[in-house]
Chains A and B, each alone.
Chain A
């Protein structure tokens, strides 16, 4: 995506980055949740 040239483009860029970060956070949250759940359920980290 080229440099934002007006407010509309700037706003779209921030929307793009916000959505991407939110989705990346979701992926990390799922990853951590499953490891923690497995550790809680079993004796994984003992």
Chain B
């Protein structure tokens, strides 16, 4: 791919400075940075809630918090991590990298982009302020199942409006990404020449537009059930609570893929760079991503096997769920094949990517176990499920995010991060994440239920190990923040290409990437 790049800084008259700059910016790099900083803050707030949970579960019996507050912590931890940390972090990376990867000067709708971001602090203020309301925060779990969620006190309307705002922000962000990719590509940048990160985001954005309104519809109906006398989900009025579960998971399962497909994209960028080989099976990766996205729409009821459904339904959802292993297996095979006989080096982004391949696959395998109907009847609502989705989300999505940040940080800041500290961060994270979540498989299989602040003494040892791991993981993230801070402030100058094996348009602009890039479109051959 050869390119011509115009990356000089253009001064378009007066720019606001200070806070006003960030409030009014329409620049994709500024907005990307704001998304990333916001998600990091949320990551620490949600992480603190996780540590409250793990402190309580360190020993059997009630230790620090009362059970009602424990339930609030599990609910808020999930909502904040899903909607406040992981999703905005991927949107931040998309804002920074998609225009650079396709040779566009900015996002197609920059003002909408600013609005999408600035909705989020308001949404999460609404949600977090519920902690200070009489009765506290929502405590029904992030799934918001009625009738339990309808018993939420003053926090209920805050929860519903916060979810609506998050959905609005996501939909507007997704529209922007699709419009940018479809209309702003540089000449010669055909769809099948696009970098995998951009491809996975294109597919993710379609998923977002198709499922976020479903969540919005579901929570609107909850709102009218509680305050306006409707009975969509209220059995006493002739409604059907199980219908909410179907609608929620019709959103919820694609949501899982919204949080992992861009991660696949990041890993598909990093492994070829550090294996110094082109990605094995590029088009297979694109088709596998699209297949996973399609399948995500027809598997939702595997979250509900214990609710009861006809045998044909059980079989359908079991087999379609298992089918997802095929395109996912294609991806894992292709990553391994890319590394095969490559001239590999193990810088921090590569270490996190390898961690991802190994540990995400563990989450994938436990997902297959959960897909088996008769086995799921045993595993459902146990710590085995908690182990499964945390393997997918923490050493899966979060490791990929960290890999992506280390990979592109020199391009953003113009400085190299401290490699030794990066490696230390990886190894402590990789060890502690396994300490935290692997024992949860054992206690789950032995019958420990999730979302309970107390447990039988037989589960004590594994819970103590999990809690120690969680604190280690939590505090080791301070290394990550310190490394980023040092890198922003200074350090060894990064070259334009940054990495030996890097390819693509983003590596043709100087480091740090100037505020305005590709004002004249590059030509891609």
Contact indicator A19/B182 (Cβ below 8 Å): yes
Contact partners of B109 in chain A: CB under 8 A = 1, 16, 20
Within 8 A of B (CB), among A1-46: 1, 12, 15-16, 19-20, 23-24, 26-28, 30-32, 34-35, 38-39, 41-46
Closest chain-B Cβ to A10's Cβ sits at a distance in Å of: 13
Q: Does B218 contact A (CB under 8 A)?
A: yes
For the complex, count residues of B whose C-beta is within 8 A of A. 35
Bound-state CA distance A31–B168 (Å) is 12
Q: Does B339 contact A (CB under 8 A)?
A: no
Contact indicator A34/B209 (Cβ below 8 Å): no
Bound-state CA distance A32–B231 (Å) is 17
Closest chain-B Cβ to A13's Cβ sits at a distance in Å of: 9
Q: Nearest chain-A residue to B224 (Cβ)? A: A44
Contact partners of A45 in chain B: CB under 8 A = 230
Contact indicator B179/A16 (Cβ below 8 Å): yes
Q: Nearest chain-B residue to A2 (Cβ)? A: B12
Known: A35-B217, A42-B240, A44-B239. A27 touches B171 (CB 8 A): yes
Contact indicator A19/B232 (Cβ below 8 Å): no
Bound-state CA distance A32–B220 (Å) is 11
Contact indicator A31/B179 (Cβ below 8 Å): no
Bound-state CA distance A27–B216 (Å) is 10
Bound-state CA distance A38–B489 (Å) is 54
Bound-state CA distance A44–B106 (Å) is 45
Instruction: Find A46's partner among B106, B211, B231, B233 (CB 8 Å cutoff).
Output: B231
Contact partners of A28 in chain B: CB under 8 A = 213
Contact indicator B232/A30 (Cβ below 8 Å): no
Contact partners of A24 in chain B: CB under 8 A = 171, 175
Contact partners of A15 in chain B: CB under 8 A = 183
Contact partners of A26 in chain B: CB under 8 A = 209-210
Contact indicator B243/A34 (Cβ below 8 Å): no
Bound-state CA distance A15–B180 (Å) is 11
Contact indicator B175/A20 (Cβ below 8 Å): yes
Instruction: Find B232's partner among A23, A27, A38 (CB 8 Å cutoff).
Output: A38
Q: Nearest chain-B residue to A30 (Cβ)? A: B213
Contact partners of A23 in chain B: CB under 8 A = 174-175, 178-179, 209
Q: Does B110 contact A (CB under 8 A)?
A: yes
Q: Nearest chain-A residue to B239 (Cβ)? A: A42
Question: 1/0 per residue B227-259: CB within 8 Å of A?
Answer: 000111100011110010001000000000000
Bound-state CA distance A44–B212 (Å) is 21
Known: A19-B183, A27-B212, A34-B247. A42 touches B175 (CB 8 A): no
Contact indicator B108/A27 (Cβ below 8 Å): no
Contact partners of A34 in chain B: CB under 8 A = 213-214, 217-218, 247
Q: Does B445 contact A (CB under 8 A)?
A: no
Bound-state CA distance A19–B108 (Å) is 11
Contact partners of B231 in chain A: CB under 8 A = 42-44, 46
Bound-state CA distance A20–B177 (Å) is 10
Closest chain-B Cβ to A32's Cβ sits at a distance in Å of: 8
Closest chain-B Cβ to A44's Cβ sits at a distance in Å of: 4
Closest chain-B Cβ to A9's Cβ sits at a distance in Å of: 11
Instruction: Find A38's partner among B106, B212, B213, B247 (CB 8 Å cutoff).
Output: B247
Q: Nearest chain-B residue to A23 (Cβ)? A: B175
Closest chain-B Cβ to A45's Cβ sits at a distance in Å of: 6
Q: Nearest chain-B residue to A29 (Cβ)? A: B213
Q: Does B221 contact A (CB under 8 A)?
A: yes
Q: Nearest chain-A residue to B109 (Cβ)? A: A20
With contacts A12-B184, A16-B179, A42-B243 known, what are 19 further pairs, Cβ within 8 A? A15-B183, A16-B183, A20-B112, A20-B176, A23-B175, A27-B175, A30-B217, A31-B214, A35-B217, A38-B217, A38-B243, A38-B247, A42-B231, A42-B238, A43-B237, A43-B239, A44-B230, A46-B231, A46-B237
Q: Can you show 29 pairs from A to B with CB atoms below 8 A apart? A: A1-B109, A1-B110, A12-B184, A16-B183, A16-B184, A20-B109, A20-B175, A20-B179, A23-B174, A27-B175, A27-B212, A30-B214, A31-B216, A31-B220, A32-B217, A34-B213, A34-B217, A34-B218, A34-B247, A38-B221, A38-B243, A39-B232, A41-B243, A42-B232, A43-B239, A44-B221, A44-B231, A44-B232, A45-B230
Please list the 10 inter-chain residue pairs (A to B) with the smallest Cβ-Cβ separation, ordered nearest first: A31-B213, A44-B232, A34-B217, A43-B238, A30-B213, A23-B175, A16-B108, A35-B217, A19-B179, A27-B213
